[in-house]
Structure formats: C-alpha cells, structure tokens
Structure 1
C-alpha cells in the first residue's frame, strides 16, 4: 500500500498560547494545502498547520507528546458551495506532492480507497490514521442549486478527518476530500459524548478532488 500519512497535516487555531485542533489538510502543490472550508470556519485568524511527528509508516506515534511545531497558514481561495479551502504555506516551508490530483470519475462502487486524517482530534489526540475502505456510491449533492460530485465511503468519518485526502488504493491518485458523515436535515438536538447520534452509521461523504484544480493560483 502506498503511504501518504507523513504528508497529511493537522490544523489548529492558537488562542492564548493554546492550540485547538480543527481538522486535517494536505498539500496540492509545493506552496498550497487543501482542506474543507468548514474546518477553518471561514477564517485564518491564528490558524496554524503542523506535520505529523513521524516520517515512516513503521514508527510508533507517541500519544504523550502534547506540543508540536506549527507554521502560520493563510487562506488564498475558498469554494463554500463544495466545502473546499486552499491555504498558502509560509515561504520557509515547501511541501512534497508525490501524487496526482484526479477525481471521483475514476472510481466505481466497490473500489478500494485509503482515507487519511486525524479521527480523534476532538479529544485532543493528534494521531495520523489511515483507513482502508471502499466506495459505496457515487452521488451528486446540491448546495444552493450547484451540483457537485461526491462519493460515499463505507467508513464512519469523524470531525478530525474532515479536510483529509482520500486516495485510490490501486494507483495512489488523490481522488476526494473528506467532508464528514451524513446527517439528515432534522439532525438530533441531543449530542452524546460530542457525537450527534444521527451520524452513527458506517458511511462518510467526500467531494471530488477535481474541484481543487480550479482553485490553485
């Protein structure tokens, strides 16, 4: 399996010297990172990004480490209709992009995909995690009359995985960006342990990565 976990970045907002973890992001060029728009909540105020504290898939990630080196990032492009956001890296940080940006057209239901992200972020745990999953369906979702290509993956996506990349397991091509678990319009008013019970199903939504191409300056 191709391993891209060392490139998947965590996002946080720093307030009073303390960082609040927000979600996942990843490089699309040497200068830009992509994430979900709802992760940054439309603001780059005190927004920082940090690479995982490991460089090899065989390394153990130390969960006792509660600090990390971070770099300030700025919003350069947004697509709220498709829940996508592009962030600019500081000049001191150049990213590596060992994969091609594709889209969901190449995937069929049943295809294997690798989902990367930080599923335990809301509990303060910054552990990059890969899930091997399958495409359950290809759907068109509408936002204010704008239809976009999405896939349904057969994995429950946690908030910390939002904005993370999904790769075709066979080719290693970037095909989608994790958005989150489906929740009906009449979402639950009671949240249990930080979880909306209506999202407790083994599926998640991801938007086609092809829309990122038009956002890159």
Structure 2
C-alpha cells in the first residue's frame, strides 16, 4: 500500500471513530487543614462502548466527587460512575445517549507488528489527538505497589498524560484496547487493556450489577520446551499447575500440582489469560471443564467456579 493511500485510510478511520471518543473531567475534593475543601481537577479520556455508556480507566475517576464528559463537538455533561474495578483499571460511566458507540474488535486476533492508533485528550485538551504506532508485544504484565495488570497490549504509539482511558484502534476502525499506562523511564512503551477484558467487565456489571472475580484456586505457568520434556507432556502448549490452593474448587475436583491444563471448555490454553477468560466466560454455568494431561494420560475434570468481589 502506498504511503499516500495509507495516510488517507488512517484519516478515514479517525473520522469514523472520533465522535465515539470523549474527554473525561473529574473533580476531587481535598480537605483543607483547618476548614473547607479544595477542588482539584483532573482529565482523562474514554469512549462510548454502548448507547449511553462509556469506558475509561479506574484511576481516571478514582476519588472523584464529580465526573463529566465532553464529546468531540464540545457538548459537555455530567456522567455517573456505574462501576469501578481497580484490579482491571476499568470504570464504566453512564452518559447521555448522544453519540454512537465505537465498534469493538477481538483482542485475541491482534498481531504483533500491526498498525494501531491511540486516540485521546492529552493534557486535558478538548480536541482529540491521534498517535500512530504498532503492536509491539502482547501478554505483557505490569506489577506496581498498587495493582497488577496482566495480559496487556504493548505499543509504541505515544500515550501522553490525559490519554488514559482512550481507545487503541486497529485499521478496521475497531477498538482493541483501552490505553492505560506509560513507563516514565522508557521511550516508546505504552500499554492497553485488551478489549476482550473490557467486554467481560461490562457483561459482569450488566448481569450482576458489579464486577466479580472468578477463580478455581490454581497458580499456573505457560508450558515451555524444558517443562514439556521434564513432565513428558507430549504437547507444546498448555499451562503447568505450579500450586493448588488447599480446599479450593480445583483441589476438591482433584487437580494436582504438576498437572498440565491443555483446554478449558474445549478451548486451547497457551497463556495464563486464556484460563482466566474461560473461567470468567463460564460464570453463568458455574463450572469449567478442564482437559488435563497427568503422567501421560489425558483426563477431563469439571471444576466449580468460585466468585468474589
């Protein structure tokens, strides 16, 4: 594709999605030493995912006493925080039915090297900015003192302060992630929460009224060639069970340390996030069926799902 054609295609994508992107303004009241409060304003980004609903980062609205959104044409209105999940760094906002939702993609289909756009409102500017980059890696994890974010999309598209909560968009005009963090001591490294995580978060809130944590009680690690040979797995991909929590659903169903989980509900497991997705998608059923390789034998184990807030 010629550079001129690519440039035109990118401009068309931005034109298609820009009305779905919003600027999120917050007001946090800080108590003064002697009396009264001081109001501090903050800014972030978000985007419409359903009619009257927008997604942003949890840290954007954390502690806010007032939240408002501004659309691309300058119309500004208050928004209500429906749900916040700090463990996923996601927040769902209720907004007026004013602009159309952005189309949501499938973050499982992203490819390292594909072009992506980060759209948002850096530094609180009401006019959106667009940066171009590539998917640098997938399945990245960030560990901080406050939270652990897993299975992130890494990109070199510039993500500046205020961009947090905006969409990471592919060349089909689909949101494949929510931009969430930058590494301050590195250049060209930004991260986005996969859109499939967002979809499950929204489904939980709509069905149960709040985000939930679903678990079965195992710690796993992706299988590598050394592990596969040591455990005589006979497969190249899977998840090695490194710990089973006593009296957990996994322990009660007979899962053991050293087992290799190769499928969950028939879906192949290659990354730890694959197991988490399968468990969360099985919440309605209350159990997940695991295909397990143990000492060269393949067995199926039905394991109950536990839920916590």
With the length of structure 2 as denominator, give the TM-score of the two structures.
0.53
Structure 2 residue corresponding to 1:46, chosen from 57, 60, 66? 66
Runs of 4+ in 1 over 4 A off after TM superposition: 142-147
**CA deviation string 1:24-73 (max 9, x = no partner):** 01000002100011111143x221101023xxxxxxxxxxxxxx542111
Aligned-pair CA distance for 1:215? 2.7
Paired residue secondary structure (1:159): coil
Match of 1:62 in 2: none
> By how many angstroms is 1:150 displaced?
0.9
5+ unaligned residues in a row in structure 1: which ranges? Answer: 54-67, 184-197
Query: Equivalent residue for 1:114?
Result: 117
Q: How many residues were matched structurally?
A: 179
1:75 is paired with a residue whose SS is strand
Contact (CA 8 Å) 2:80, 2:94: kept in 1 or not? yes
2:173 matches 1:172: yes
Check the 8 A contact 1:35/1:163 in 2, yes or no: yes
User: Residues of 2 paired with 1:79 and 1:148: CA distance?
Assistant: 14
Give the number of the structure with larger relative contact order, counting CA–CA contacts within 8 Å between residues 6 or more apart.
1
Structure 1 or 2: more helix by fraction: 2
Summarize the Cα distance change of 1:179–1:98 in structure 2 as closer, same or farther, 3 Å threshold: closer
Of the three residues 122, 145, 156, the one matched with 1:154 is 156
Distance in 1, matches of 2:85 and 2:151, equals 14
Q: Within 5 A, what are the aligned runs for 1:93-108?
A: 93-99=97-103, 101-108=104-111
Residue 90 of structure 2, aligned match among 60, 84, 107? 84
Q: Name the residue aligned to 2:78.
A: 72
Correspondence for 1:203 among 178, 182, 189: 189
How far did 1:148 drift?
Answer: 2.7
Asked if 2 retains the 8 angstrom alpha-carbon contact of 1:77 and 1:215, the reply is no
Partner of 2:176, secondary structure, is strand
- In the alignment, is the contact (CA less than 8 A) between 1:78 and 1:215 conserved in 2? no
User: Which SS does the other structure have where 2:162 is aligned?
Assistant: helix
Work out the CA distance in 2 between the residues paired with 1:145 and 1:204: 17
SS at match of 1:127: coil
Name structure 2 gaps, 5 residues minimum: 1-8, 30-38, 207-309
Please give the secondary structure, in 2, of the residue aligned with 1:120. Answer: helix
Q: Distance in 1 between matches of 2:50 and 2:82?
A: 13
